[in-house]
Amino acid sequence: MDSEAAIPTDVKVTTEVLYRGALVLALMDAVYVSLLAWRVKPDTFRTLKWLLAVTATLFWAGLWIWAIANFWGMVYLYVLPPWARYFFPFIASIITGLVALCFWFLAIQSHTKSVLTFCLLGGLYGILTHIWAVTRGIVTKPPMLQGTSPLAAVVFACFEFIFYWCTILVITLGIREVWLRIRKHRC
């Protein structure tokens, strides 16, 4: 069964929905980032460099494969070239893995909590990617998004991406913990 067939074609995303979603995500992010900043020590964060990059790459590959499989005809067909249906998840995930390395480097250089910097950079990345999407017509071409405020799309993306980058960090920490336990039991 085609996954898009299960999604109603008359779905309409409005500016109000994006702003409400941004508010919910902002509240969730405040808790998520605070807990991570409190629990993840700078020394631990420093050890995550390559694992964070690999986790980010795989996370974004999965997210893009899911998004394109479910929303190609409703959204992405209008703003991406046809070849992107098959290659965009791979390309975007590799780029984002490299971005994760940059975020890690900038975060360990910051004079504040590394985790806070890392997650806020994720929000900045969301803003930049969605400004690009707006210039490609994301709020004017797809019928489900037509008429939506470009500003609302960008604001929503900021908090959406903070959530994603927090999740990437949690997954990375989980993998690290499992790896450490396996190594401990081997010794």
User: Tens of pLDDT along 99-108?
Assistant: 999 999 999 9
| Domain membership flag for residue 132 | yes
| Domain membership flag for residue 4 | no
Contact 166, 122 (CB under 8 A): yes
Contact 33, 166 (CB under 8 A): yes
Range of the domain at 43: 13-186
Which has the closest alpha carbon to 133: 121, 145, 116? 145
| Domain membership flag for residue 66 | yes
| Domain membership flag for residue 3 | no
| Domain membership flag for residue 5 | no
| Domain membership flag for residue 7 | no
- Looking at the chain, the number of H-run helices and the number of E-run strands are 6, 0
Please count the structural domains in the chain.
1
pTM metric for this prediction: 0.91
Alpha helices per DSSP H over 47-113: 49-71, 84-109
| Domain membership flag for residue 128 | yes
The token pair at 146 is 């037509």
Q: What would the pLDDT profile of 129-175 be if each residue is shown by its tens digit? A: 999 999 999 999 999 999 999 999 999 999 999 999 999 999 999 99
Q: What would the pLDDT profile of 33-88 be if each residue is shown by its tens digit? A: 999 999 999 999 999 999 999 999 999 999 999 999 999 999 999 999 999 999 99
Residues 6+ apart with CB under 8 A from 36: 115, 119, 166, 169, 170
| Domain membership flag for residue 23 | yes
